[in-house]
Structure 1
Amino acid sequence: MPEPGSVWGGSRLDLDAYLARIGFQGDRRPTLETLRHLHARHSAAIAFENVDVVLGRPVPLDLETLQTKLVHRHRGGYCYEQNLLYAAALDRLGFQVSGLGARVRMGDDRLRPVTHALLKVEIDGEDFLTDVGFGGSGLLEPLPLRDGIEARQGGWTFALAREKDTRTWALRFRTATGWTDLYAFGTEQRYPVDYTVFNHYISTHPRSPFVRRLVVQRPLPGLRAALIGRQLTRTRPDWTTEVRDIPPQETPDVLASAFGITLSAPDAAALVAFQRDSLAGDAP
């Protein structure tokens, strides 16, 4: 069996480049304060996005590709990309990291497959949920893995509940109308090879929510922005919402200005074409 943490490849990570990418400056010791700072900076700096998926491209999960894409090219990624890069950084810094898998709910109680990757970190004998890859409704900081805990993070409130009948955990998010479950997860340890299998389904299956439309999200303490298809939504903690449709040709500029995503000229052109094609497909 591999040594704990070695599966995340931290020794191969360009740590200085990663920390510069997320704007982290501070203590690098594996403490709770460091974990909080890393989680917050990563969530703010690297947006959730599925551009490669909608363009029909593979989504490799090897660390070298992730560093090139998310760190050096200033792109974003979805849960597997984000949390695998983050796990490598935590591993390199000396944290005890475990992978977990979740069933996405988003307020829906239907049983769905395990498709979301998240992480658990143990510090001084206590477990913390840390997840930088859930997108617009995601955590901004780690959350202690305790039944009934509630935490205010920026302008948003989260909670964890242990479900007695299934012995799973539910991450909850307070909305304008009350609590909603984001996802449910168990404590069975998952590994990068598991995420490779999940990733294949999410990036290629016709029923995947990420194959047919653009999904770009960014959670910040005072604003949650989402571009779903062609609709840009900005939501503030008082639940005031601004919504507008983005013309296909403006999509690359919106990704840069609202989400900090830098596209190459060929990628920008391909995405504009995809958005135009999807617009034509919606026409009566």
Structure 2
Amino acid sequence: MWNGDQLDLDAYLDRVDYRPERDRTVTLRGLHRAHLRAIPFENGDIVAGVPIALDLPSIQDKLVGKRRGGYCYEHNLLFAAVLDRLGYQVTGLAARVVLGRPGDVPATHALLHVDRTWLVDVGFGGGGLLEPLPLVEDAFQAQGGWSFRLDLDEPTGVFTLQTYRENAWTDLYRFTKDPRTPADYTVLSHYLSTHPNSPFTARLLVQRTEDHALRRITGSEYSVTSPDDATTTRTLTPDELTAVLRTDFAGLELPTGVTRPVD
């Protein structure tokens, strides 16, 4: 299902600058961190009107060959192929991104359940996990300066991933263990990458989570938030945007039409 046989594993490992170790858990954690360190979250193609292709050769060409980033479907489908190739058991899941919003929200975020043990997510654009988290009730981990925990509503089987922000636990997303397939992600991605009400179609979004900084570009606004919630924000000129993408977002190069939009 995850097309690990189509993956150029050596090229991917070179891209993220990591080599597997004998211990499977150590490797999973190391790969998770290496992927986040090397490949940013970004929606440049969506803003530019370029269709998002979710077949593995296309994702690999973009994120590995062209050294671009992507959004959740691209990141987690690529990571699923890597784990599949390395012999891990991978199940796709879908989550409802909450981020403190009230009301009903659709399950549009892709994430992974690995070896029936780990919640794995290298594609969340809202300040997510740096490492896999045990997918069990009340799981808790400090990852760098960030803290995460899982809450479970037993009657419904709904898990909620939370992070500690502004002196309180904040819901990031909710999900169940109901499996999803790449075909499910293709339908969801089409909506998110084309619908005018999608948060991804209106403006540039770039994000990178580090041990002690959450870096975000929203349109031309650049913010850096630390685990103690201190935030600095500044507006970037097109030249500054290009420079910041290179220095603070792993050398990311976006199409000119995205960094210098035409009025």
After TM superposition, the score normalised by the length of structure 2 is: 0.96
- Which of residues 154, 178, 189 in structure 2 aligns to 1:164? 154
Match of 1:23 in 2: 17
**Greater fraction helix:** 1
Q: Do the aligned residues in 2 keep the contact of 1:76 with 1:261 (CA within 8 Å)?
A: no
What amino acid is the match of 2:260?
A
- Structure 2: distance between partners of 1:240 and 1:247: 23
Match of 2:258 in 1: 271
User: Which residues in structure 2 correspond to 1:102-251 (within 5 Å)?
Assistant: 102-122=95-115, 126-251=116-241
Flag structure 2 segments of 5+ consecutive residues without an equivalent: none
Counterpart pick for 1:37 among 17, 30, 36:
30
Contact kept in structure 2, 1:159 and 1:171, CA below 8 Å: yes
Residue aligned with 2:18, SS: coil
The offset of 1:26, in angstroms, is 3.8
- Tell me the secondary structure at the aligned position of residue 75 of structure 1: coil
Contact persistence 1:73–1:262 (CA under 8 A): no
State the secondary structure of the residue aligned to 2:10.
Answer: helix
Percentage of identical aligned residues: 48
- 2:54 pairs with one of 47, 50, 61: 61
- Residue 81 (structure 1) shift: 0.2
8 A contact 1:30–1:95 mirrored in 2: no
**How far does the alpha carbon of each residue in 1:234-280 deviate from its partner, in whole angstroms, 9 at most, with x for none?**
1112222111001134322221111124326xx2x211332x53xxx
Once the two structures are TM-superposed, the CA of residue 177 in structure 1 deviates from its matched residue by 2.8
* Structure 1 residue matching 2:117: 3-state secondary structure: strand
Is residue 33–residue 131 contact of structure 2 (8 Å, CA) maintained in 1?
yes
Distance 1:90 1:26 in 2: 11
Runs of at least 4 residues off by over 6 Å: none
Query: Any idea what the Cα deviations from partners look like across 1:158-216, whole Å, max 9, x if unmatched?
Result: 00000235321000010023111100001111010100000000000011000001100
What is the distance in 2 between the residues matched to 1:26 and 1:190? 27
- Letter matched to residue 23 of structure 1: D
Conservation of the 8 A alpha-carbon contact between 1:70 and 1:77: yes
Structure-1 separation of matches of 2:60 and 2:18: 16
Correspondent of 1:73 among 66, 69, 78? 66
1:14 matched to 2:1? no
Compute the displacement of 1:32 (Å). 1.2
Distance (whole Å) between structure 1 residues aligned to residue 236 and residue 200 of structure 2: 19
Larger Rg: 1
Secondary structure, aligned partner of 2:29 = helix
